[in-house]
Amino acid sequence: MGGCASRVGLYMEFVVWGMGWAEVVVVAATAASPVGELLVAYPLGLALGLDPLVSLVVSVLSNLVPVPLLLRFLWFLRRRFGRFFGWVERRGGFYSSYARWGLPVFFLLTPLAGVYATTLVMRLFGFSGFVVFFVQAGSLAAWGAVLYLATLGVFSA
């Protein structure tokens, strides 16, 4: 049952146990907060002395935690304020015709605008919860990979 995923898991376990849990918790809380998110939490983890890979994984996974919670909260609001959401979705139907351009835009903007804002806007524009989650997961993973490679000096001259 070896493989790459189990090696990364063992590496993460080895590195995290070798340092304090306080730093990991601070990075996770920062990534999950509306103020911190990925672009603040990853450098914070590096500044606290975390390994770049640990900081990246904790930041990305913690930044994804609010997405299902927000989708569930929006579902509750839709049931409570159906008339308002119907009005917004009728207006959003115009934007759904541009979905093929909208997904790349949301893919690029998720770390910049934040998962809170992009979850709300994508859902109001009529994207399904499944699409919202996986667009944001892919976006955070891609941006995280770029940050990780920049940390390793791949983009330096």
**Within a domain: 155:** no
- The verdict on residue 147 lying in a domain is no
pLDDT at 56: 93
Residues 23, 76: one domain? no
Residues 56 and 101 in one domain: no
Q: State the pLDDT at residue 84.
A: 79
Q: Confirm whether 149 is domain-assigned.
A: no
The residues, ordered by sequence, that sit 6+ positions from 12 with a Cβ below 8 Å of its Cβ are 53, 54, 57
pLDDT at 99: 61
Residue ranges making up the domain that contains 70: 66-141
Q: Are 49 and 85 contained in the same domain?
A: no
71 and 137 fall within a common domain? yes
What's the structural domain count of the chain? 2
String of b and e for 9-25 (b: at least 16 CB within 10 Å)? eeeeeeebeeeeeebbe
Is 133 found in the same domain as 93? yes
Predicted pLDDT of residue 112: 85
Task: Kindly state whether residues 126 and 108 are assigned to the same domain.
Answer: yes
Residues 126 and 72 in one domain: yes
In a domain, 156, yes or no: no
pLDDT of residue 1: 47
Per residue of the chain (157 residues), give pLDDT as tens.
445 555 555 555 555 555 668 888 899 999 999 888 888 999 999 999 888 999 999 999 999 999 999 999 888 888 888 787 777 767 665 555 556 667 787 888 888 888 898 888 888 777 888 988 999 999 999 999 999 999 988 877 6
